[in-house]
Amino acid sequence: AERKERGRALLPWASFGENLTTRGLRESVVRIGDRYRIGGAEFIVTQPRLPCYKLEVKFGRSDMIKRFVSVDRSGFYLAVEQEGEIGAGDAIELIEQHACDLTVAEAYRLKLGGGTRDRIELAANHPALARGWRESFERQLE
């Protein structure tokens, strides 16, 4: 079904410019501020990824951003909290789930204009969310 939807064979790893390709870390479960250990390194989830025009250029499709947004699978950025060696096949271990229940998927939807004022306020004040995202939510509230 996915092949038919994309109109091409399965895409190779890193087709969307990701540095890490994972299984099981779904945007609907991963929270902004969650801390993970991969190999000898530790990371914190800071924000969803937003699609840009480069997707349309790379795939030669003028509808790529629209398609990307519609699947609610943005990916997300990780800040390095502790440097260390990582390698293919290393386990990804949740070492601390952030107390605030703002998932990557919800932050993404809020950025695209969905959600209630109280959830936007939560995002605007979330200490682990990237500063630019917090500022964007603050502007929405004004």
- Which residues 6+ apart lie within 8 Å of 115 measured at CB? 106, 109
Q: Is 142 exposed, middle or buried (0-12, 13-18, 19+ CB in 10 A)?
A: exposed
Q: Which amino acid is at 23?
A: R
* Integer Cα distance of 105 and 75 in angstroms: 9
* Integer Cα distance of 63 and 55 in angstroms: 9
Residues above pLDDT 70, as percent of the chain:
71
Its pTM stands at 0.78
pLDDT digits (tens, 9 = 90+) for 91-117: 999 999 999 999 999 999 999 888 899
- Amino acid 118: pLDDT: 96
Give me the phi and psi of 80, to 5 degrees please. Answer: -80, 120
- Amino acid 96: pLDDT: 97
- Amino acid 136: pLDDT: 95
- Amino acid 1: pLDDT: 39
Give, as one character, the DSSP assignment of residue 115.
S
- Amino acid 2: pLDDT: 44
- Low-confidence spans in the chain with pLDDT less than 70: 1-18, 51-73
